[in-house]
C-alpha cells in the first residue's frame, strides 16, 4: 500500500486470530506501516507481538477503518470499546459470520458506514475469496477501500444485496470444508483400491489442488474442462457415470449440502 488515509489516520483491528493475522500479514507485506495499525487482542500470538504494530493500547479517536475480526459470540463484549469512533467518518468492516448489518447498526448507530464481509479459510495462504455488502451509509470510496484491504488475502466480490450473504456462506464460506472432505473421500477410495494411505492422500490432495488451479487459471468453463479429460468409454467416463447420475449424484448431494449451510446461516442471522 502507498501512503493513504489509513496510513495517516490509522487502522484498528479488533481480534487477531487466524483470519485477522492473515489479513494483517498481507497488509504489512504491501507496505502498510506497522505504526498505523492498532490491534486489540486479549491473547496476542508471538508472531503478532513481533510485527511492530500498536498492541492493546490507546486507539485513535477517529481511525480511517475498524476491522472487526472477533467471533460473533464475543461481539457484545468487544465492540462497545470502539463505539466512540462510530457515527462519524470511520468505516467499520466486519468479517464475523452471521452478524447482520442491522445488528451492527443497533450497536454502532445507523449513521455509521458498515461493510459486512464473508472471507474463507484459504485466505490464510492468500487464495481466499471474500464477498462484501454495505449499509446505506457506505459509498463507492468505502467499498473500494474495503476491496483494497481484503484483496490482501485473495479475490473480492461485491454483492447486490446483503441477503445473498447466506448463499455465499453456503458456497464459499463453508465450501473449503466440503473440498477437504472430498480429499478425504478420494484418499479413502484409493486405499480401498490397494494404495498405501500416504500415497493415496498425496494423490488426492495434489489432484484437487491441481484441478482447482487449472479451473482458476485456464479461464475455461468447468464443464468444458471436464469434457476435455473424458474420453468416450474410458476410465473417467466410467467414474463420472456414478457422480453424475440423476438420483443421488454429486450435483444433488452438493445442492443439499449448500442449502443446509445457507439455511443454518439464515437461522443464525435471525439470532
Any known ligand binding at 223? Answer: no
Any known ligand binding at 56? Answer: yes
- End-to-end, the C-alpha distance of the chain in Å comes to 38
Helix, strand or coil, per DSSP, at residue 212: helix
Distance (Å, whole) CA 69 – CA 138 = 19
Helix, strand or coil, per DSSP, at residue 67: strand
Any known ligand binding at 135? Answer: no
Any known ligand binding at 69? Answer: yes
Any known ligand binding at 15? Answer: yes
Any known ligand binding at 85? Answer: no
Distance (Å, whole) CA 166 – CA 262 = 5
Distance (Å, whole) CA 93 – CA 6 = 13
Distance (Å, whole) CA 165 – CA 116 = 9
Any known ligand binding at 127? Answer: no
Q: Report which secondary-structure segment, H or E, holds 55.
A: strand 54-55
Q: How many Cβ atoms sit within 10 Å of the Cβ of residue 134?
A: 23
Burial class (CB in 10 A: 0-12, 13-18, 19+), 39: buried
Any known ligand binding at 19? Answer: yes
Any known ligand binding at 212? Answer: no
Any known ligand binding at 17? Answer: yes
**Dihedral (C-alpha) 17, 21, 24, 25: value to the nearest 10 degrees?**
180
Enter the C-alpha cell of residue 57.
493500547
CB-based contact 47:23 (threshold 8 Å): no
Annotated binding site for NADP(+): 14-19, 69-72
Annotated binding site for NADPH: 56
Annotated binding site: 14-19, 56, 69-72
Amino acid at each position: 500500500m502507498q501512503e493513504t488515509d489509513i496510513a495517516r489516520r490509522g487502522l484498528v483491528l479488533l481480534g487477531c486470530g487466524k483470519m485477522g493475522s492473515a489479513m494483517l500479514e498481507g497488509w504489512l507485506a504491501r507496505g502498510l506501516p506497522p505504526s498505523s495499525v492498532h490491534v486489540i487482542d486479549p491473547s496476542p500470538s508471538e508472531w503478532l507481538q513481533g510485527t511492530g504494530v500498536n498492541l492493546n493500547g490507546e486507539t485513535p479517536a477517529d481511525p480511517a477503518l475498524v476491522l472487526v475480526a472477533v467471533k460473533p459470540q464475543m461481539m457484545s463484549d468487544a465492540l462497545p470499546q470502539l463505539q466512540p469512533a462510530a457515527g462519524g467518518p470511520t468505516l467499520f468492516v466486519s468479517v464475523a459470520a452471521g452478524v447482520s448489518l442491522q445488528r451492527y447498526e443497533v450497536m454502532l448507530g445507523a449513521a455509521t458506514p458498515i461493510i459486512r464481509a464473508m472471507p474463507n479459510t484459504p485466505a490464510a495462504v492468500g487464495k481466499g475469496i471474500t464477498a462484501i455488502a454495505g449499509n446505506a451509509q457506505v459509498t463507492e470510496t468505502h467499498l473500494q477501500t474495503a476491496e483494497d484491504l481484503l484483496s490482501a488475502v485473495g479475490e473480492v466480490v461485491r454483492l447486490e444485496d446483503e441477503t445473498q450473504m447466506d448463499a455465499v456462506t453456503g458456497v464459499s464460506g463453508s465450501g473449503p470444508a466440503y473440498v477437504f472432505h472430498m480429499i478425504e473421500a478420494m484418499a479413502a477410495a484409493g486405499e480401498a483400491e490397494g494404495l498405501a494411505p500416504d500415497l493415496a492422500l498425496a494423490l488426492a490432495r495434489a489432484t484437487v489442488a491441481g484441478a482447482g488451479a487449472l479451473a482458476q487459471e485456464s479461464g475455461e468453463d468447468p464443464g468444458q474442462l471436464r469434457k476435455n479429460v473424458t474420453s468416450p468409454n474410458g476410465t473417467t467416463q466410467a467414474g463420472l457415470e456414478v457422480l453424475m447420475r440423476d438420483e443421488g449424484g454429486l450435483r444433488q448431494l452438493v445442492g443439499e449440502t449448500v442449502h443446509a449451510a445457507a439455511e443454518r446461516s439464515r437461522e443464525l442471522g435471525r439470532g
